[in-house]
Structure 1
Amino acid sequence: MDFSPSPASESQPWDGVILCATCGVEQEAVDPAGLPAVCAICADDRQWIPAEGQRWTTVGELRAAGAGLEVAELEPDLWVLRVRAGVGIGQHAKVLRTPAGNLMVDVPTYIDAAAVQAVAGLGPLAGIIASHPHMYGVQSAWSEALAGPEGPVPVYVSEPDAGWLARRPAAVRVWSGSLAPVAGLPGVSASQPGGHFPGSVVVHWPGRDGAGVLLAGDTVGVARDRQWATFMRLFPNYLPLSGAVAERIAAHLDRYRYERLYDNFSGVLGVPGGGASRVVHHSAARHADWAEGRMDHLT
């Protein structure tokens, strides 16, 4: 489903939300004069400041330029949200549909009335959780737009990474360790294996078929051949994690049974045939061999 943006002539509540034109993360300032010199997330070595310098934009400017949201089903009860003609690094937010309410995992860098209607059409939203700070998007706006009888949708922020919040959602819930982000549904769980960020989050869900699905963000990246996984400190700037951390992440994920794994860009391990957990372990071992010099004879 491709939802056209709301007409640029129609004022919307989110039009004034300021966000970084590179990463798409919302900012606290309501006036450009209150903005920092650079986006802190982009100034970090895991991201980048464009050669032409820092630029800020607003949701209203993106809508006027033709931004919109695409919604597609990845598998039964799992949907991907892609921003078209917007900003960000091309990440794909997800919506996990459950009988107790839906969970948004990672957040679009755009919002308008048509997008809100599309996501609301999948069912009520019980929570929002980002895998790491690059994926905060306009989470405050989504939380407010899909508010229920009890107020804005809870936004779960990993405690080790909470300092990266440039705009603090009204309904923020800072957490550590493990979490059941959908009340009354312990089968959906989140934890913090770290790696890419100290508080990097994964979300596990049994899947409609019971095989187990892991939404891994950038904690585990899917290689282009979909036969291997990667473990990176810096993705755009090409710096891998150590072998020990790759193997620590694989071991952490052993608490879950998962046959399929999706990364931030809808790369998927384990389709067809399952076996994502096995791929993660083999990949971590290979990563460690190369990172620790055991394969130097091939160089």
Structure 2
Amino acid sequence: MPAPSSAEPAADPAAAPSFDAPGNLPLCVTCGTQYGASRSDCPICDDERQYVPLTGQAWTTLEKLRGPSHRGSIHAQGPGVLGIGCEPSFAIGQRALLVKAAGGNILWDCQAYLDDELAALIRAEGGISAIAISHPHFYTTMAEWAREFDAPVYLHAADRRWVGRADDHLQFWKGERHSLAPALTLYRAGIHFAGGTVLHWMDDPDGGGALFTGDIINVIPDRTHVSFLYSYPNQIPERPETVKAAAAALEPLRYERLYGGWWDRIIPHGADRIVQESARRYLAFTRG
């Protein structure tokens, strides 16, 4: 995944101080995860799929981010899809996607920054009916978003242990698929994390279908292929059997477009073919 932004706010690398309000809960500077209480470590960064910087663990808060250094941003990312992030980027540069579906807007993935101005812009687009997140690196401030829009957050139960802040809005689903609406379905791909999830939108405005993947399926720079890694910063490949199973689960789906995990990482045409071809290429290399 991308390296942290050089524009991240300064933070004390010592243990997180005491916090007494939701906006002042500890927020990891490196990965953007918000925790429900003070702590000296970030389990997500301690995991081999992320990292702790050489300078050590550092903390900030959402309230500090809301100062003059950052602001929310919304940009079109495709037909019926708006990207939501902040400028300058924070943590690993996460951005969320507002999927403007017929039955109500779905927030796909999450990013840490949220203030009153950004919430008002989202409400002007129809608000948020539900939130679905691909994996723990995008959990960030999901509880803040859920409370702001009174929206349920759908997470795969296999990744429950990584939740940093409990909230009644969190809904844990099990199994291989979960329907959010008649044309919106979550699939467990199991890549990157055991509960690694993708979202299939069957009736996007272009009519060709769309797949939202975060970096469960990662779009490479020239958009001709995708990649599958267990750890992006530490460059650990995903297990072949996991990629094979994910490709088989997604093979029946039709989707012209694929939306990756960062700004403009989008495959505009032939995405379903590209995913299957990429899986075959990956398996050929990893199996010798």
TM-score, scaled to structure 2: 0.88
How much has 1:240 moved relative to structure 2?
Answer: 1.0
Match of 1:285 among 263, 280, 283: 280
Hey, what's the Cα distance between the residues in 2 that align with 1:120 and 1:139?
Answer: 17
Q: List per-residue Cα deviations over 1:127-162 (Å, max 9, x = no partner).
A: 11110000001111111111xxxxx21011110001
How much has 1:221 moved relative to structure 2?
Answer: 0.6
Partner of 1:62: 65
Hey, what's the Cα distance between the residues in 2 that align with 1:234 and 1:65?
Answer: 34
Match of 1:138 among 118, 141, 150: 141
| Match status 1:47 vs 2:50 | yes
| Match status 1:165 vs 2:168 | no
Q: Percent identity?
A: 32
| Match status 1:215 vs 2:223 | no
Which structure 1 residue ranges, 5 or more long, are not aligned? 1-12, 147-151, 294-299
Cα RMSD (Å): 1.4
Q: Secondary structure at the match of 1:64?
A: coil
Contact 2:85–2:113, Cα closer than 8 Å, also in 1: no
Give the aligned residue type for 1:74: Q
| Match status 1:230 vs 2:233 | no
Q: Secondary structure at the match of 2:191?
A: coil
Contact 1:82–1:93, Cα closer than 8 Å, also in 2: yes
| Match status 1:202 vs 2:198 | yes
Give the aligned residue type for 1:292: R
Match of 1:247 among 239, 244, 248: 244
| Match status 1:79 vs 2:78 | no
How much has 1:227 moved relative to structure 2?
Answer: 0.4
Match of 2:23 among 8, 15, 25: 15
Q: List per-residue Cα deviations over 1:237-267 (Å, max 9, x = no partner).
A: 1111133322221111123211111111141
Contact 1:243–1:284, Cα closer than 8 Å, also in 2: no
Task: Specify the structure having the higher radius of gyration (Cα).
Answer: 1
Hey, what's the Cα distance between the residues in 2 that align with 1:219 and 1:192?
Answer: 10
Runs of 4+ in structure 1 deviating by more than 3 angstroms, as ranges, are: none
Which structure 2 residue ranges, 5 or more long, are not aligned? 1-20
Give the aligned residue type for 1:261: L
Give the aligned residue type for 2:116: A
How much has 1:14 moved relative to structure 2?
Answer: 5.1
TM-score, scaled to structure 1: 0.85
Give the aligned residue type for 2:168: A
Give the aligned residue type for 1:204: H
Hey, what's the Cα distance between the residues in 1 that align with 2:137 and 2:28?
Answer: 11
